[in-house]
Amino acid sequence: MIVGQVQSSVDEKPHTRMSISSTEIKSENNGDLVTRTQQCRILASTCLMAFTIIGLNQSFGVFQAHYGRQASALEGVLLQGELSKRLLISAVGSLGNGGLVAAFGLFYYPHLPRLGGHVKYLCGLGTAFITVGFAAAAGSHNVSKVLQVPAPQLLTMIQLATLVACQGFLVGIGAGILNYVLAPILPEYFPQRSGLAQGAMFACGGLGGMVWVFVLTALLESIGIRWTLGLLSILSFAILSISSALALPPRKFERRSTEIVSWKVFRDPLFASLAIVNLIMALTLAIPTAFGSEFAQSIGASITHGSYLLAINSGIGIPGRICTGWLSDKIGHLNMLIVATAVYAIATWALFLSSAITSDLGPYVGMTVCYGLSSGVFNTVMNSAQKMLFGAEMYYPQSGATITIRGIGFVIGTPIAGGLVSRIAGEDLVGRDFLKLIVYTGALLTLSLLCLLNVRRLDAQGNGWKLVR
């Protein structure tokens, strides 16, 4: 049951209502009637966005592995001494996923319902940032000629910093605008099937991840990093411009709170537990995709096979996210989160760790399958779960607080993980060099599972025990 939503569709009358079940909001809160045209439009917009932005984020492991190899130094992308600086290389991916924008969600999320038709222009701005970011990263090798500064001196100053600023910071601002504006709007247009709708969106993200892995691997090996980044700039502009044109504003409700939540809300045990879950999942969610290709190569896989495993990771998530979205509407979004977190935690301890210790590729293939099935659940159902727990009136203010926490985790998560891997060039890595990273991931996921179980317990205390929740 979705909190604070009107149980309406195009086949129902506007006066059909669903009673609200949340810890604070008990009265009804009507929303505008939703048409099928609106549903198709917002779904198409978010799917195109997910295919491009989420897909590229999931395939960043291809860049991570490439930037750590000698080829990057030969192409002039990085200096020889920078190949082992995984913390900074990882910052390109952690900034590029949009977490920097999400980190300010506490302040702008409550005002999203006021966007109205301006949502298209905001998404267009995000598209411009991504286009310029990739283009600037592609063209940065010409800076020495333009400024007439000796190349060695200039390279010392700007090589890795340019990647962080362009492919990381600029692309990340655009990705954050599009992702964290459109994603929370989608479930409002599917009051009865929000899990399925978000499952479809993130399945497109998984499809994008699988497609981009093959495309990026082929491009990097054939035309090099500069032309690859330039081509990404053109493709991103084309796809995301369509997504921006199709965007719809947040759905109108009788009551919407635009107040920024106070720090007192963090004293609520349920909200605090949910905040910890958001932080931990952001810290750990990108680790298998960011370091998967590099880890696979460290235990004996070739560059191509490492990319294939990354593609399998995303490919499994395509049907998995649709199915888990549909299933979460049946068994409850909170229940689905608990199951998925448990699967991810167990696979990390049993398969990921075993593969690193033994340098056996078999357990890691199993880990890839388990992660592919469970990883999309968090993104797919978290918005729906929070809508159920917070209600329609407080959905944006309280979700803004959790998005801020999530954004901080996305920004710092991959660099922290990169700092736990042994600081040697990619060609010299072995499985045991990732042990600290794997233990760190497993410990955080175990804590996240305990916090989700606590949320389930506290919710049952406030609303009575319900099997589907």
Residue range 393-420, pLDDT digits in tens:
676 777 788 888 988 998 888 888 888 8
The encoded tokens of residue 411 equal 């920004």
- Which spans in 97-223 are helix H? 99-102, 105-108, 119-139, 143-147, 151-163, 171-182, 194-222
Q: pLDDT over 90 for what percent of the chain? A: 28
Indicate if the pLDDT at residue 111 is higher than 70: yes
Residue-wise pLDDT tens digits, 46-103: 999 999 999 998 888 888 777 777 776 677 666 666 666 667 777 788 788 888 888 8
Mean pLDDT is lowest, of 320-329, 441-450, 455-464, for 320-329
Mean pLDDT of 300-310: 79
Higher-pLDDT residue of 140, 345: 345
Tokens 């990108």 appear where? 286
> What distance, in Å, lies between the first and last C-alpha atoms of the chain?
7
Phi/psi at 433 (5° precision): -70, -10
- Domains delineated in the chain: 36-463 (1.20.1250.20)
CA distances from 427 to 57, 96, 217, 221, 294 (A): 23, 25, 17, 16, 9
Q: Which residues of 297-327 are buried (b: 16+ CB within 10 A; e: fewer)?
A: bbbebebeebbbbbbbbbbbbbebbbebbeb
The confidence score (pLDDT) of residue 271 equals: 87
**Does residue 170 carry a pLDDT above 90?**
yes
- Residue that wins the pLDDT comparison between 199 and 30: 199
Pick from 132, 163, 156, 148: which is nearest to 66 by CA?
163
Does the pTM exceed 0.85?
no
Which H/E stretch holds residue 354?
helix 353-358
> For residue 253, what are the β-bridge partners?
31
DSSP string, 309-353: HHHHHHHHHHHHHHHHHHHHHHH-HHHHHHHHHHHHHHHIIIIIH
Over its C-alpha atoms, the chain yields an Rg (Å, rounded) of 22
Model confidence over 247-272: pLDDT tens digits?
Answer: 998 876 655 566 777 777 788 888 89
* Structure-block tokens of residue 350: 């049993």
More confident residue, 45 or 411: 45
pLDDT at residue 327 tops 90:
no
* Residue range 5-11: mean pLDDT, rounded: 37
Q: Once rounded to an integer, what is the mean pLDDT over residues 35-51? A: 94
Distance CA 415, CA 237 (A): 28
Identify the pLDDT of residue 241. Answer: 97
Q: What is the pLDDT of residue 7?
A: 36
- pLDDT exceeds 60 at position 25: no
The mean pLDDT value for 417-426 works out to 75
Residue 117 banded pLDDT, cuts 50, 70, 90: confident
Asked whether the beta carbons of 68 and 150 are under 8 A apart, the reply is no
Question: In the prediction, which pLDDT does 31 show?
Answer: 54
